[in-house]
A and B are shown apart, each in its own frame.
Chain A
Amino acid sequence: MSVRVKLPPALQELGGGVETLEVSGRTVAECLEELEARLPGIKEVLLDRQGKLLRAFGIYLNENVLRPIELDTTVRDGDEIVILNFLMGG
């Protein structure tokens, strides 16, 4: 089970500039656990104190950018997860 993850620029620094990486997992949350192991600190950025995804970020599956997916969304082999950052002030 391999899922490709595309990171926004702000998170790429955690991995020394890496833009995409391959992880495994059956859900977004499981993929995030592996991401955390490889890019320590990513959960701290993406999740609130209750462990929910902060709305200043959005996780999208494949090319469906109309609606973000949640942490419990199931992913499949070959899927691509895109993480977007909407922190711009206002």
Chain B
Amino acid sequence: MSSYNGKLIRLNLTTGKSQVEEIPRQWLKDFLGGRGLGVKYLYEELKPGVEPLSAENKVIMMMGPLGATTAMSVSRMALATKSPLTGAVSKSIMGGSFGAFLKFAGYDGIIVEGESAKPVYLHIDKEGIHLLDAADLWGLDTQQTHQRLREKHGKSTQVACIGPAGEKLVRYSVLISDLRVGGRTGVGTVLGAKKIKAFAVNSSGPLSLHDADGFKKLTKEIIEGLKTSPGRIKMSDFGTSYLTLSLEKDGIFPIKNFQEGHLEGVEKIGDEALASIKIKNDGCYGCMTKCGQVRKVTGGTYDGAVSEGPDYETIWSLGGNLANTDIGALIAADSLCDKLGLDTVSAGNSIGFAYELYQRGIITREDTDGLELNWGDPAPMMTLIQKISDREGLGKLLGEGTKRAAAQIGKGAEDYAMQVKGLELPGYEPRAVKGYGLIFATSNVGAHHMYGRPRAELAGKKDKLTEVDKGKDAADAEILQATQDTVIQCAFSPVTGFNAQQRSELLVMATGFKEFADPAYLDKVGERTLCLERCFNVREGFDRKDDTLPKRMRTEPLKDAGPATGQTFKNLDGLLDEYYDVLGYTRQGIPSEAKLKELGLDSVVADMKKFSK
């Protein structure tokens, strides 16, 4: 008995056939689940140089060993592919309930490969696995798609789908399950290229566990403790919106495409303003915190708009980044992105890029279809979101992501593209919290806020502005995140779930794998996952030159940013050396033979030797 089903669905969209196959037992032990198994399958099955939007690319959807159990904050799904934004490995974690019900149906994951000639969707129920025609779904937004599939298969059907943006290959399209989103780095785009609109599952629990009684007893104890956890209550009350005012005060909340660090009137989109329009909580399967904040606009231009969120990142991307303090527009823009299936971070960042180009005269009204892109005016933002999804006018260019858009525009536009490896920066100013800057630079998926967090700096336990002695912190943070993403536990699980020791106990009781009893073993799983992601990238031609930050961060003193005013990022090279040394990578940023062998990645040694100079 084990919480692992030990099986996945391999869906070939070119042939229209699916098969069920075993997941190698040793892979479960070495990579645990989620993001770990995701990159393992990608590395083994993708040839280097595959075009991300071709039939040769694959999408790996993988659950973790605790998913669908009664443990808190664990029923999440990892998505991995070769990113159409970056050409690098991607990782994204999607909440909701779809993954839990996939496990109830008997599968730990789905590998999507090939390319369909016509739109299709996958339906899984007790009768089997069915690839069905999606002609009537193609073109629908994500909410309409959920509704249509529930009309067809029943109200309890769990759904994950792409929106019109994914169908039209906007490079930062996402996968959405109810009100939860997964897919920074363009997983939805790859699914759109494969013409698979949705996944639907009808199933019911419970799952088998190795030691069901012990698991039940421990989860009950954990839940009792969580009932009085102040951090969990804070997340339930506010989600991550409570971060905005503190981070803005410290100059960490980037304003006007990272030009400055102070937003007049920021409290209009602060935690209390958002709490005042909250109508209910929402969250993932089995989670008692339900950190999602469903909010509704009453009155004004955006009367009636409802969204789950915005979370901190979207408060930034569609709010502060554009100097937009109109709470109604913020909710409406978040809702529109979710319906269209767009990543709010890359969408808001790309729109901020356009606003700055307009400010500097690099683009004019002739390029914007007549829109005047003035900071603080949200109306053009709403129009641009729709245009991005429709791939129309300036929106078509912005839907390529800032790196590609800047290359096409020329005229120095690349200086204003706030991206790393092609992935748009999230809402943390690297010059104001240097540890985050280092993580953005080294992240194998590009600048991603969930690739590791410099907790000591954010909590004020370590100086945010110094540029020495941060390599180990960054490496540790990335390993911690990778470990969490293999379990898969929510990033907030230290306050909404369990501690490292409890995690080990739960894993052993769920799976029966004794190795998981040692938290250090799990840390190694995280490090192995992080390392294999780097190996994937090295094989694609990435190295130290790609571990960088936008020129603005390195050369332009930050303006009006409280304690961070005047800061630049001066010692990225020194911090990279620290980081590589800690992780056992060469100074080129390539894992050394010794480190690969230590992590049991011997099979990768020959590949890496080809690239080491």
Contact = CB atoms under 8 A, between A and B. Distances in A.
Interface of A: 8-11, 13, 45, 48-50, 54-58, 60, 65-68, 84-90
The 3 tightest CB contacts between A and B, nearest first, are A10-B460, A55-B242, A56-B246
B249 A48 contact: yes
Main secondary structure of the interface of B (DSSP, over half): helix
Interface stretch (B22-30, B107-115, B225-233, B510-518): B225-233
A66 B233 contact: yes
Contact of B455 (A66, A67, A84, A88): A88
Contacts of A55: 234, 238, 242, 245-246, 271-272
Interface in B464-520: 491-492, 494-495
A54 B461 CA distance: 18
Interface of B: 228-231, 233-234, 238, 240, 242-243, 245-247, 249, 267, 270-272, 311-313, 428, 436, 449, 453-455, 458-461, 491-492, 494-495
B245 A56 contact: yes
Contact of B460 (A45, A48, A49, A90): A45
B280 to A, nearest CB: 19
A55 B237 CA distance: 10
A14 to B, nearest CB: 10
Interface of A is mostly: loop
Nearest to B450: A90
A8 B228 CA distance: 18
Contact of B459 (A65, A85, A90): A85
Contacts of A10: 459-461
Contact of B449 (A9, A49, A66, A90): A90
10 contacts: A10-B460, A49-B267, A56-B245, A60-B230, A85-B460, A86-B230, A87-B458, A88-B458, A89-B455, A89-B458
A90 B240 CA distance: 6
Contact of A89 (B233, B234, B243, B461): B243
Nearest to B240: A90
B249 A49 contact: yes
Contacts of B312: 90
B245 A66 contact: no
A56 B243 contact: yes
A37 B600 CA distance: 56
Contact of A84 (B230, B240, B313): B230
A57 B238 CA distance: 12
B249 A88 contact: no
Nearest to A12: B461
Nearest to B238: A55
Contacts of A50: 267
A9 B455 CA distance: 12
A9 B246 contact: no
Nearest to A48: B245
A90 B426 CA distance: 10
A44 to B, nearest CB: 8
A49 B312 CA distance: 19
A54 B246 contact: yes
